[in-house]
Amino acid sequence: MVFEIVKPDEIEKRSMEIITSELNGRTWPEPQFSIVKRCIHTSADFDYADNLVFSEDAARIGVEALRNGAHIVTDTKMAASGINKGRLSAYGGQVHCFISDDDVVAAAKERGCTRATICMEKGAEIAKEHPVIFAIGNAPTALIRLAELIDGGLKPALVIGAPVGFVNVVESKEFLMERDVPFIVPKGRKGGSNIAATICNAMMYFKD
């Protein structure tokens, strides 16, 4: 067996070259193309070339929001850990994940709902003072509650709707996409915390 010898600092570049080649000439306007490629790079799944849905100019809106100090609220510690907090901080933003906060645990138990639901409500409070990108990588209930909050007047800078799984996942994404709000959504069952974080990072790494 013969392995390709690639220097550590060349691995990502080489990976992106392979992805671009295997897309067989398919391209998207930037910064969408960068997001598509990074999602494929993270997952080794070319389905993201077909299932990523962008509302009008959503990728550009997300890039500009981050550059202007937007905060990111996510539903999982995994997504929060995967987001480049140094780059985000340089722009003036912060990552928030409330899933293990005592008040969130208590409120979810009292109301008989998921902690992710309460997390979105806490995120909505941050949105009163800062632009907020909501990056949902696990819980359909987070996306459903977020859509309800949008109906009530919440105006996110962007919603990344990437819950993964089988129960209410497809439906929650469709529910969100009916709202007049910038969104990036991998349609269908696929997604995950890694994809939500990747989309955030792709927008931060994008260079005009």
Instruction: Quote the pTM value.
Output: 0.96
- Average pLDDT of the chain, as a whole number: 96
Q: What is the pLDDT of residues 165-174, one digit of tens each?
A: 999 999 999 9
Task: Check residue 3 and give its pLDDT.
Answer: 81
Does 25 reside within a domain? no
How many domains does the structure of the chain reveal? 1
Residue 1 within any structural domain of the chain: no
CB 198 within 8 A of CB 42: yes
pLDDT interval class at 89 (50, 70, 90) = very high
Catalytic residues: 41
Q: Please, which residues have CB within 8 angstroms of residue 185's CB and are 6 or more apart in sequence?
A: 52, 53, 159, 160, 161, 162, 173, 176, 177
pLDDT tens digits, 113-156: 999 999 999 999 999 999 999 999 999 999 999 999 999 999 99
Calculate mean pLDDT across residues 15-41.
Answer: 97
The reply to whether 149 falls in a domain is: yes
Residue 197's CATH number: 3.40.50.10230
> Which residues does 108 contact at the CB level (< 8 Å), separation at least 6?
114, 115, 117, 118
Residue 3 maps to a domain = no
**What's the CA gap between 71 and 197, in Å, rounded?**
13
Asked if pLDDT for residue 208 goes beyond 90, the answer is no
Q: What is the spatial distance between Cα 45 and Cα 115, in angstroms, rounded to a whole number?
A: 30
